[in-house]
Amino acid sequence: MSDPLVNAVGLSRRFGDVVAVNEVSMQIESGETLALVGESGSGKTTLGRMLSLLLPPSAGTLEIAGNNVVGLSRRALKPVRRNVQMIFQDPVSSLNPRQTVANILTEPLRNYRLGSHTEQTARAIELLDAVGLPEETLQRYPHEFSGGQRQRITIARALALNPGFIVADEPVSALDVSVQSQILNLLADLKERYQLAYLFISHDLAVVHHIADRIAVMYLGNIVELATREDLFRSPTHPYTQALLKSVPEIRPGKRRLGQVLQGDPPSPANPPSGCRFHPRCPRATDLCRTKAPELETRSATSSHQVACHHADTGA
Amino acid sequence: MPVVEAVNLAIARGSTLALVGESGCGKSLIASSIMQLLPPFGRVNRGVISLDGQNLASLDERSLQKIRGNRIAMIFQEPMSALNPVFTVGAQIAESLLLHMELDNKAARQRSIELLESVGIPDPQVRAGNYPHELSGGMRQRVLIAMALACEPDLIIADEPTTALDVTIQAQILDLLHDLQERHGAAILFISHDFGVVSQMADDIAVMYAGRIIEQGSAAEILESPTHPYTRALLATTPRLDHKADRLPAIVGRVPSPFERDAGCHFRKRCDHAVAQCAASYPELIARVGSHPCACHVVNANV
Amino acid sequence: MIGYLVIRLSQSLLVLMIMSFVIYSLIGLMPGDPIDLMISSDPYMTSEDAAHLRSLYGLDLPIYERYWNWLMSALGGDFGYSRLYNQPVAQVLVPALMNSVQLLVVALVLSISVAVPAGVLAAYRQRSVFDYSVNLFAFAGISIPQFWLGLMLIMLFAVLLGWLPAGGIAPEGAPLGEQLRYLLLPAITLTMTSIGSHARYIRSAMLEVLRQDYIRTARAKGAGASRVIWRHALRNALIPFVTVLALDFGFLFSGALIVETIFAWPGMGKLIFDAIMGNDYNLALLSLMLATALVLTGNLLADLAYAWLDPRIKLGSRG
């Protein structure tokens, strides 16, 4: 097996006293979608910003296509940055309202001084075609488009430099269901066509179930479970993952209660619980959980299913 | 210009009607119309809004104030912005009581603490003295629910009440709404874009598209045997946990704005089954024998 | 809270110290000194006499030494003598300060009590005749120069109608009504500009607040229009207004300088003007410092009011 495209080991990020991401390790292969799931405050966006090179980690190592990126100067980072792009949740605020689409799409090319003006415009048309927008789009401004079309433009921009890795932070959360499915299909097509790797950050498990190859579940800065899509949905092992899956409302008739899935709110990352950070809300918590934080470990030598729980094998 | 047209809804005591649709379909405007709290330049041009036989559309502002918050209460989508940042949550709950019930300040305060307790807020005594920014998102939504329950309303309008919340908190809030409905027997108009949430909450479902109700029936009818092409497409395109498709069947195009609507069916340009008649006239919402009401020429022709 | 106050007050003192040096240096940079004035008024004075007087007053010393000497005696409570009034500076200043504060407070109260209701109602009845009138009046107030308005008011009420005195202040011990008669015209002149900008500010702050979700919540509770406006909306709209008010305080004070001169109101404004024109170093220095202190106090009060109005602000948590 070749080296993974993205290789993070022990990645941490603190803001003051708050540990937003705590010693996270993960690998992403070319052509693979790794979904990052978690609730607000879980640190998934911070991790995404580190992997997209927008935020330097406080500790740990990160390699993109075999190049170390931690501790590099802006200048040294620039060639690596070409390979890593980001798509944001809100397609309104991530597009400059005073720039034409042509300007927005050629800006990355101009930043890297790639091609003549004519070549850049030709590339912009090619990009629009890839995301299913007509050439006439070039001379228009972002506000003239609907939310779904704007998200297509941000995707086209992300593709401009032929990246190998795209971090998509809640890319369909702001969209209506019918538009959401168009964008999800587009992302899947582009992955196929350009052998892209995605880090797909989302709070929506149904969307993740649809698009992900592997899934990492985060809780209060830690990855608590990491598995292939099939394994995670078939045999969720961490009690938090189990609660999360149970909380997703199924589409089937019958007015019903879910029954207490998880009690209370997640604790503040500024003041995390001792030991396993999930223990105050966990039905299986024991004294061990209160004192010692579990490691993220594979369950057996043959499986890639990783869980961070002292009682991974006891719960049903 | 009509934004919402020809909408007929009825909700019985103790039951929940869900209004489903994508953004811009007019579902929130229906909520504001029932409350008679339309934005500037908005008004109910025609029709009757009746609460236990009394027509709200014909009442003056003073009488409406006696009904709002008292017999009809509302729960909103954004629990942070729906609470006034400069008053304690206790004071905001007590305000409803003081407006509608013959209570003095002390009794209203006591009652608001009881209400906080009834919606599952720990340490209600302390929490009553907190300002909204001191509470988590889930707690704020509980406060809004307590506020809505204050005067034991007959109808609760919940406008996307869990959309801004995390999924585990959403599960808590939805269960809470179930408990409260059982205890108080209020009717709930539940507005949402999420079929999953709706199927957990609703007795009946009305699907809206571009300002009209296009299909209406019991939850089982709509979720198990939808007939309108839009409902069917919407259900098929929603990603779900119990089913994995390689590609989601997408609905092409987008919803027409009120300016772009014409005399024909508003969905026909995105519809795979459209026929000539769809451009000629807007289909009536009628039920075939043995089925539920649906506004589609094609469906209703295939008897 | 107390810790916060201590920090803020010591910060203010530091600012005052720095300002005293800046003002001292600026006055030192002014052309001429008191001795030049003496020479021009006394033809028999020789240049030796002048040099002698300069060394007697310490005017031949370098500026930092002169400042140091002033500072030492000032810290001992001695602010020097006023050359113009032949009295200790403090004795000249205190009554003037009282008169100015009286004028400022009346103007401020007048402005707020007219501007807040006007702005609130203009926002509530947006695009009504009332709203347009408030806007027109506000722009008129902002654009009319104070000196012109002052003169017109004097012409109308003092000269033509003879209802009010043209200037000056009521003699000490006069009944309250008499004092108010003297106060009225300068206070109105001073208020006019700030009423306009305050009303417009309150109006736009209210429009912003009335769009918020919690206003809809209040209406959905069954609160009537007046309750929604005066209880739910106004308190939120006042939060940004308080900051503007504090910044305006300095502006109002400089306006007082003009108005006091027009109406011969014996306040700080007039005193500063006279002191600078008459090369009265000690008086100019201390009155300018008092003006600084007044603005600093305004800012401190605004911050306190801000925290009192907005529970999200915790004083002192930022250090």
The predicted structure's pLDDT at residue A159: 95
The reply to whether B149 touches chain C by the CB within 8 Å rule is no
8 Å CB contact between B266 and B291:
no
CB contact under 8 A, B37 and C220: yes
Nearest-angstrom CA–CA distance, C87 and C90: 8
Question: Which pLDDT band, with edges at 50, 70 and 90, does C30 fall under?
Answer: confident
The reply to whether B95 touches chain C by the CB within 8 Å rule is yes
8 Å CB contact between B69 and B99:
yes
8 Å CB contact between A241 and A60:
no
The predicted structure's pLDDT at residue C167: 82
Please identify every stretch of chain B with a pLDDT value under 50, giving residue numbers as ranges.
303
CB contact under 8 A, B85 and C221: no
Ranges for all domains in chain C classified under CATH 1.10.3720.10: 89-309
In this predicted structure, which of A75-79, B270-274, C241-245 has the lowest mean pLDDT?
C241-245
Q: Which residue has the tokens 């009060």?
A: C301
Question: Which pLDDT band, with edges at 50, 70 and 90, does C292 fall under?
Answer: confident
Strand C81-82 and strand B54-55: the pairing is unpaired
Residues of B with CB below 8 A from A232's CB?
A: none
Give the tens place of pLDDT for each residue, A221-237.
Answer: 999 999 999 999 999 99
- Quickly list DSSP for chain A: -PPPSEEEEEEEEEETTEEEEEEEEEEE-TT-EEEEE--TTSSHHHHHHHHTTSS--SEEEEEETTEE-TT--HHHHHHHHTTEEEE-S-TTTTS-TTS-HHHHHHHHHHHTT-S-HHHHHHHHHHHHHHTT--GGGGGS-GGGS-HHHHHHHHHHHHHTT--SEEEEESTTTTS-HHHHHHHHHHHHHHHHHHT-EEEEEES-HHHHHHH-SEEEEEETTEEEEEEEHHHHHHS--SHHHHHHHHHSPPSSSS-------S-SPPPPTTSPPSSSTTGGG-TT--HHHHH-PPP-EESSTT---EE--TTTTT--
DSSP code of residue B286: E
Select the residue from A190, A203, A220, A255 to test the B interface by mutation, using most B Cβ atoms within 10 A: A255
> Using a CB cutoff of 8 Å and minimum separation of 24, what contacts does B51-55 make?
B51/B154, B51/B155, B52/B154
Question: Which pLDDT band, with edges at 50, 70 and 90, does C319 fall under?
Answer: very low
Mean pLDDT of C87-104: 87
8 Å CB contact between C311 and B91:
no
pLDDT at A277 over 90: yes
Mean pLDDT of C252-271: 84
The predicted structure's pLDDT at residue B259: 87
In the structure encoding, which two tokens stand for residue B209, read together? 């598209």
In the structure encoding, which two tokens stand for residue C241, read together? 């207004």
Share of chain C above pLDDT 70, in %: 98
pTM of the model as a whole = 0.85
Q: Which residue has the tokens 């959360």?
A: A173
Shortest distance between the Cα of C145 and any Cα of chain B, in A, equals 38
DSSP 3-state of B20: strand
The reply to whether B69 touches chain C by the CB within 8 Å rule is yes
pLDDT at C175 over 90: no
Mean pLDDT of C10-38: 82
In the structure encoding, which two tokens stand for residue C24, read together? 């001292």
- ipTM of the predicted assembly exceeds 0.95: no
8 Å CB contact between C250 and C80:
no
Q: For residue A295, what are the contacts with CB-CB under 8 A and spacing of at least 6?
A: A308
Residue whose C-alpha is closest to residue B135's, from B74, B85, B77, B73? B85
The predicted structure's pLDDT at residue B303: 43
The mean predicted confidence, pLDDT, of chain A is: 91
In this predicted structure, which of A279-283, B261-265, C247-251, C287-291 has the lowest mean pLDDT?
C247-251
The reply to whether A243 touches chain B by the CB within 8 Å rule is yes
- Side chain identity at residue A22, one-letter code: N
Residue whose C-alpha is closest to residue C115's, from C187, C189, C196? C196
The predicted structure's pLDDT at residue A163: 95
Question: Which pLDDT band, with edges at 50, 70 and 90, does C236 fall under?
Answer: very high
A:33-52 residues touching chain B, CB 8 A cutoff: 39-40
Mean pLDDT of C101-114: 89
Map chain C to HEC letters. CHHHHHHHHHHHHHHHHHHHHHHHHHHHHCCCCHHHHHHHHCCCCCHHHHHHHHHHHCCCCCHHHHHHHHHHHHHCCCCCEECCCCEEHHHHHHHHHHHHHHHHHHHHHHHHHHHHHHHHHHHHCCCCHHHHHHHHHHHHHHHCCHHHHHHHHHHHHHHHCCCCCCCCCCCCCCCHHHHHHHHHHHHHHHHHHHHHHHHHHHHHHHHHHHCCHHHHHHHHCCCCHHHHHHHHHHHHHHHHHHHHHHHHHHHHHHHHHHHHHHCCCCCHHHHHHHHHHCCCHHHHHHHHHHHHHHHHHHHHHHHHHHHHHCCCCCCCCCC
Residues of A with CB below 8 A from B222's CB?
A: 253
The predicted structure's pLDDT at residue C67: 85
Q: Phi and psi for C40 in degrees, rounded to 5?
A: -70, -20
Residue whose C-alpha is closest to residue A163's, from A102, A107, A85? A85
The predicted structure's pLDDT at residue B77: 86
CA dihedral for A142, A148, A153, A158, sign (positive or negative): positive
CB contact under 8 A, B68 and C309: no
Shortest distance between the Cα of C220 and any Cα of chain B, in A, equals 5
The predicted structure's pLDDT at residue B40: 66
Mean pLDDT of C146-173: 87
Exposed / middle / buried, residue A2 (Cβ in 10 Å: 0-12, 13-18, 19+)? exposed
Nearest-angstrom CA–CA distance, C95 and C105: 15
Residue whose C-alpha is closest to residue B9's, from B71, B51, B38, B69? B51
Greater confidence (A292 vs C49) lies with A292
Rg over alpha carbons for chain C, rounded to the nearest Å, is 24
In this predicted structure, which of A38-42, A249-253, C266-270 has the lowest mean pLDDT?
C266-270
Task: Give the CATH class of C89-309.
Answer: mainly alpha
Please state whether at least 3 CB pairs lie below 8 Å between chains A and C: no
The predicted structure's pLDDT at residue B198: 95
Residue whose C-alpha is closest to residue B25's, from B189, B235, B214? B214
DSSP 3-state of B287: strand
Residues of B with CB below 8 A from C223's CB?
A: 65, 69, 95, 99
